Amino acid sequence: MRMLINVPETVVADALRGLAAAHPELTVDVERRVVVRRDAPVAGKVALVSGGGSGHEPLHAGFVGPGMLDGACPGEVFTSPVPDQMVRAAAAVDSGAGVLFVVKNYTGDVLNFEMAAELAEDEGIQVAKVLVDDDVAVTDSLYTAGRRGTGATLFVEKLAGAAAEEGAPLERVEALARRVVARSRSFGVALSACSTPAKGGPTFDLPPGELELGVGIHGEPGRERRGMMTAREIAEVAVDAVLDDLRPSDPVLLLVNGMGGTPLLELYGFNAEVRRVLDARRVPVARTLVGNYVTSLDMAGCSVTLCAADEELLRLWDAPVATAALRWGR
């Protein structure tokens, strides 16, 4: 096992201590696993809380700060956090204007956030929830737990976070978050399996020279295995899979996301190919973000997320943000 860790049991706590050391603008409760912006609760402002398994860094703790999330709850690696964490985070960031839970559509996240919402409401906190389910690889959702929530989570957190920062009330922030979900789609590709600390090695066997199409972000195998393809071929498959499902009439926000084990050199090259395909399909790109944002530990691979952005969404995208992993305009 080649991992820069102490023991698997303390991976999450160790990372949180390091996050706290690097970012004094965050309040990090290492023991209870709650990360909030230091100035929370912000008077009169709707608060955004998200969370999910660890191993997707910088999602979500890296997106806590002005203009994005007010709080995040990291669970064990690839395991949803527990309701206690979410309630604690909600209580820490609620100014009385209410809290929006941003939930990725995985059974564990959904169940724990549901329980947390009930408990938080018992404590007098007004809670709304938005479910992110953008992954087009899950086609026959009648036979699954629905589409997975992946790259679009970043768009929801950034855009709804900007709306909340502007002072929009809870129902408007919630409606906007739902609009972003409805306008966003993703497709992911793995060139290698990821290694979880608990297992100490790859979670599935992917021989060199093969890739998995349609993967999620938990190191689970994808829907289909194929022989190795070029960046150009992968871009065509990924973009067309997204465009089969989303016909944007507006310019799009484009996220070319790395899964954690693919260098930026490759991601930028891949972005060039994605752009070539989008140009050929006559889809104008308004803004592009390239990097490792919604990751899967050390998995090599990438995902493409498009969000059909209207004028309001573009304005909110450009609004200032100051988090550990996303920062501009201030």
Residues that bind other proteins (CB under 8 A): 8, 53, 75-84, 106-108, 111-112, 114-115, 137-138, 140, 143-145, 148, 196, 198-199, 203-204, 216, 218-221, 223
Q: Is 56 in the active site?
A: yes
Which of residues 188 and 248 has its CB atom nearest to other proteins in the complex?
188
Answer whether 170's CB lies under 8 Å from 100's CB. yes
Closest by CA to 246, choosing from 287, 297, 196, 306, is 306
Q: Is 23 in the active site?
A: no
Which of residues 235 and 299 has its CB atom nearest to other proteins in the complex?
299
CB of 8 to other proteins, least distance (A): 8
Which of residues 78 and 155 has its CB atom nearest to other proteins in the complex?
78
CB of 132 to other proteins, least distance (A): 15
Catalytic residue among 28, 197, 218, 277: 218
CA angle 266, 269, 272 (to 5 degrees): 150
Answer whether 145's CB lies under 8 Å from 117's CB. no
Distance CA 38, CA 290 (A): 28
Answer whether 206's CB lies under 8 Å from 259's CB. no
3-state secondary structure of 102: strand
CB of 84 to other proteins, least distance (A): 5
Closest by CA to 310, choosing from 256, 243, 239, 249, is 249
Which of residues 41 and 81 has its CB atom nearest to other proteins in the complex?
81
Distances in Å between the Cα of 219 and the Cα atoms of 55, 115, 142, 244, 298 are: 10, 26, 23, 25, 9
Which residues is 186 bridged to in the sheet? 135, 305
Q: Over 239-256, what HEC string results?
A: HHHHHCCCCCCCCEEEEE
CB of 204 to other proteins, least distance (A): 7
Which of residues 46 and 241 has its CB atom nearest to other proteins in the complex?
241
Which of residues 33 and 158 has its CB atom nearest to other proteins in the complex?
33
CB of 177 to other proteins, least distance (A): 23
Catalytic residue among 56, 60, 158, 179: 56
CB of 33 to other proteins, least distance (A): 10
CB of 212 to other proteins, least distance (A): 10
Q: Which helix (H) or strand (E) holds 108?
A: helix 107-122
- What's the distance, CA 138 to chain centroid? 17
Q: Which residues contact 57 (CB under 8 A, 6 or more apart)?
A: 15, 295
Distance CA 224, CA 139 (A): 12
Distance CA 247, CA 230 (A): 25
- What's the distance, CA 167 to chain centroid? 23
Which of residues 22 and 198 has its CB atom nearest to other proteins in the complex?
198
Known catalytic residues are 56, 218
